[in-house]
Structure 1
C-alpha cells in the first residue's frame, strides 16, 4: 500500500515522506511502527530523521497502487481481463483522463506467453506536458511471472504563459 517514498536531505538531517493509501498500517498502534522505523533509519544514516506519512486520497488513480492491485488479483487467480477492466473502470470513474493497463506473460497458464492491453480515454505518451503516472508490478503465479504496467493520464501540466 506504499506508493512512493521521498527522501529530502537538508543540512545535517533527513526528511522522509511516505505516500500510502493506508497510513494507519504504516504508523501502527500509537505510532509504534513509525518510531521503530525512525530509530532504524537514523542509526543507519547517523543523523536525525523526520518521517511523515501522507495519505493518498484516491488510490484508484495512483499507477503503482493500481498495478499492485491487478497483480495481487492475478496471484489470486482472478481472470486477467476482469481485473484489468475493473481497474480501468474505477480509475475513469474517479477522474482520470485516460488509463492504459498492459499485462504480459503466461496469461491463464497458456503455453506461449503473450501481451494484452486495455485502454480507455487518452494516454498521450509523446506529449511532454502530459501528467502521466506510470507503475509496474509483478504477479508471481504458478506458471511464472506476469508483468503488469499501468499508465494513468491525469491531465496536462500548463506552465506560465
Structure 2
C-alpha cells in the first residue's frame, strides 16, 4: 500500500510540476458512504440483478449498520422498458431541508445493454449538533431558576 501511494504521489507531482501531499483516509463502514452504496447498486444493475432487489438490499444493509435513514432513486429504462421511468425506495427519515442534518449524497451510473441507468443515494447519518451552543443553553437554563 505504501509504495502505491508513493508511486501515485510521484505521478501526480510529475503531471502538475509541483510537489504534492496526498492524504489517504480509510472508510471504516462502506455501507454508510452514499457514493459507495450508489456504485454497489449500479454494479448490481450491470450484472442484471433486479433493480428493486438491489435497492432493497442496500437499504437494509445501511439501516442495519446504523444509518438513520436512506433513500435510493433509480431512473432510466428499468427492466429494459421502452419508456424510461424513475423509482425510489426510502427507509427511515431523510431530512433534506434541515441544515444541521448530516446527509451524504452520492451518484453512479450503470451501463446496461438498454442504456444508462442513473442511481442516486441520500444517506442520513444523524444530526450535527453545535456543542458550544448546547452548553451555553444549558448554562443559561441552570442560571434562570436561581434568579427567581
Which category of TM-score, normalised to the shorter sequence, fits these structures? 0.7 to 0.9
Mapping of residues 1-150 of structure 1, within 5 Å: 27=1, 31-150=2-121
More helix by share: 2
Give the Cα separation in 2 of the matches to 1:78 and 1:33.
Answer: 34
Give the Cα separation in 1 of the matches to 2:17 and 2:113.
Answer: 43
* Superimposed CA distance per residue, residues 56-95 of structure 1 (whole angstroms, 9 cap, x where no aligned partner): 0000010000000000000000000000000000000000
Unaligned runs of 5+ in 1: 1-26
Report the TM-score when normalising by structure 2: 0.86
Report the TM-score when normalising by structure 1: 0.79
The Cα of 1:53 is off from its aligned counterpart by 1.9
More strand by share: 1
Give the Cα separation in 2 of the matches to 1:101 and 1:88.
Answer: 8
* Superimposed CA distance per residue, residues 88-119 of structure 1 (whole angstroms, 9 cap, x where no aligned partner): 00000000000000000000101111100000
Higher RCO, 1 or 2 (CA under 8 Å, sep at least 6)? 2
Give the Cα separation in 1 of the matches to 2:86 and 2:60.
Answer: 20
Unaligned runs of 5+ in 2: 134-148
Give the Cα separation in 2 of the matches to 1:113 and 1:147.
Answer: 11
Give the Cα separation in 1 of the matches to 2:48 and 2:30.
Answer: 22
Report the count of equivalent residues: 132
Give the Cα separation in 2 of the matches to 1:32 and 1:155.
Answer: 37
CA root-mean-square deviation: 1.0
Please list every run of at least 4 consecutive aligned residues from structure 1 whose deviation after the TM superposition is greater than 6 angstroms. Answer: none
The structure with the larger Rg is 2
